[in-house]
Structure 1
Amino acid sequence: MSPEMWGAVAAGGAVGGVALAVDGWRRSRRPVLMDRVAPYVGDVARGPVADPGARGLADRLRSVGGALAEAIGSADSVRRRLDRLGSDLAVEAFRVRQLRSAAVGFGVAVAFSLAMLARRPASPLALMVLCAIAALGAAWWCDQDLTRRVERREQAMAQEFPTVADLLALAVAAGESPASAVRRVAGVAHGDLADELRRVMGDVHAGDTIATAFDALAARTGVASVARFAEALAGAVERGTPLVDVLHAQAADVRESARRSLIESGARREVLMMVPVVFAILPVTVIFAFYPGVIGLQLTTGS
């Protein structure tokens, strides 16, 4: 490493140390209201009172996570995707996870940069830009991983919906109310859609009406068929409309949509299937067809 690089690292460390010392001195001179009240309410608090230093570190992590949120994506988008995923993870906890991913990416980039500097001189500015890009890329990958998990879950819910709708239709046709049918199906079914139904029943047990719980399901889900199903159930509960035919029709529509999607996917992949045929199978076939003739002509010409 060049002397200029060592000087830059030392200057950065010194500036960071002075900033941390000043921040700690300022916090110790002017404690916040929570720090002054915490020693007197520790015996009546629901849990152990957090250490001020640890809380200060958590506040710093949240502030850094908020800045990262503005660069990667909005908090509303993350909150909606977490809600669609059915996760109890808070937005702040997800931002801390993104921050950890960014730290790992930054550490890997720093190690790579040091290895490059050990082998040959390189531009410190370019290596710093590389480290920043690696950190942002790791945080972006964490955000994209959340999106992929939401998409996989919603695809699974769309595949499970016809079976769940038929089960609900059978339960309602047997004489049960929509709420009882949902409770029965949620108790015996497995999968992501069954988890959503159990969440709906949990909201009902918490005091919400079943129509309100299904309206909330329709608002938070990203699957159109499940949203229509939730709206139909909410309307059936509120107005007493017949539900069996509606559920059977929705299940048939979802199966028909899945069949169309499969046919369209096969049509799109038909062109891709020609790639190995044209570039692998066809050349081998041509070689097998013409190579014996070429060898025969060479033997005839040689003789």
Structure 2
Amino acid sequence: MSGAVIGCVLSAGLWLIGSGVLRTRRPSVEQRVLPYVRDVHPYVVAPGRSNGVAVAIFGPSVQRAAVVVGEWVGSACAVRSRLDRLGVATTLEEFRLRQSLWGVAGGAGGAAVATMLWTTQRTAVPILLGVCGFGFVAGVMGCDRRLSAQVTRREKEMEQEFPIVAELLALAVAAGESPVAGLDRILRVCRGSLADELARVLAEIRTGTPMAAAFDALARRTGVTSISRFAEGLAVALERGTPLVDVLHAQAADVRDAARRELMEAGGRKEVSMMIPVVFLVLPVTIVFAFYPGLVGLHLTSGT
């Protein structure tokens, strides 16, 4: 009976492998048409990027798996927003593909743990399947958390860079330069996440986008409240003819006040944790230094 079961499983596996190979050898209509529309289709690999044999064979299957994972995880709009806030050229489909690969790696790790549990403790099969599934889910969610952490880190860097950039732009505009020339001068000396975003705004302006619309797009794109207010205020000032120098100085002062207020709030929240090194490290050392000479003196007096 066991031999029959093993034979059925083996034959089914061989049949699946053969049918898969035959399907992959017959290109679909989409695969035949996409090379001719690669300049307008957003999902085609660029001509300069090399496609290996593995990509050509397993690419469609992996892309379908990525679509399934994306539908299961959901929130495609949120992922697009985070990718845009991160300032990378990665598309949603490429991120889903990476997420699927992370899930496969997590599932492989779960399978390794399940194999070890099976060989050492003969754990029940449902528990082993649960371990494999947990590894897959952990890989998928780990990729999503990594993207969120990258976005948060980049926005913190932008928030720290913003007061200096605002002051430099205010000085450039006060010296008589236009906002575009001021941005160009700032980008020559500044490096960082905010400089990359301003370079994107400057590129949009130079390609024909109105300046107010470019700053409005920056306000919608960024997740930093202070930069969003700065971009909106700058767009309104450009539309209504408000003096830009006053707007920029006011925005920089507001950001510095907000950073100071946030630092005071963080100190208030960390008050108890800040007392831990004082109570358990500094205070015992102070007590030892204060009472140890007296204790030695008492020992000497009692000895004599």
Q: Deviations for 1:89-135, whole angstroms, at most 9, x for unmatched residues?
A: 11111111112211221111211221222212111111111111111
Query: CA 1:118–1:209 in 2, change beyond 3 Å: closer, same or farther?
Result: same
2:183 counterpart SS class: helix
Higher mean Cα deviation, 53-62 or 145-154? Answer: 53-62
Aligned to 1:223: 224
1:239 Cα shift?
2.6
- Aligned partners of 2:261, 2:191: CA distance in 1, in Å? 26
1:241 Cα shift?
1.6
Contact 2:234 2:247 in 1 (8 A): no
Q: Deviations for 1:59-101, whole angstroms, at most 9, x for unmatched residues?
A: 3222211221233342211111010010111111111111221
What is the one-letter code of the residue matched to 2:197? E
Higher mean Cα deviation, 95-104 or 220-229? Answer: 95-104
- Aligned partners of 1:8, 1:251: CA distance in 2, in Å? 74
RMSD of Structure 2 on Structure 1 (CA): 3.8
Contact 1:84 1:150 in 2 (8 A): yes
Aligned to 2:18: 21
Aligned to 1:190: 191
Matches within 5 A, 1:39-50: 47=47
Unaligned runs of 5+ in 1: none
Aligned to 2:88: 87
Q: Deviations for 1:264-287, whole angstroms, at most 9, x for unmatched residues?
A: 111111111334555667788899
Could you state the TM-score of these two structures normalised by the residue count of structure 1?
0.80
Contact 1:72 1:143 in 2 (8 A): no
2:243 counterpart SS class: coil
Could you state the TM-score of these two structures normalised by the residue count of structure 2?
0.80
Higher mean Cα deviation, 77-86 or 19-28? Answer: 19-28
Query: CA 1:50–1:163 in 2, change beyond 3 Å: closer, same or farther?
Result: closer
Q: Deviations for 1:151-209, whole angstroms, at most 9, x for unmatched residues?
A: 11111111111110000110111111112212221222111111100011111223322
- Aligned partners of 1:285, 1:270: CA distance in 2, in Å? 21
1:143 counterpart SS class: helix
2:270 counterpart SS class: helix
Aligned to 1:163: 164
- Aligned partners of 2:252, 2:155: CA distance in 1, in Å? 16
Aligned to 1:33: 29
Unaligned runs of 5+ in 2: 41-45
Same amino acid, percent of matched pairs: 43
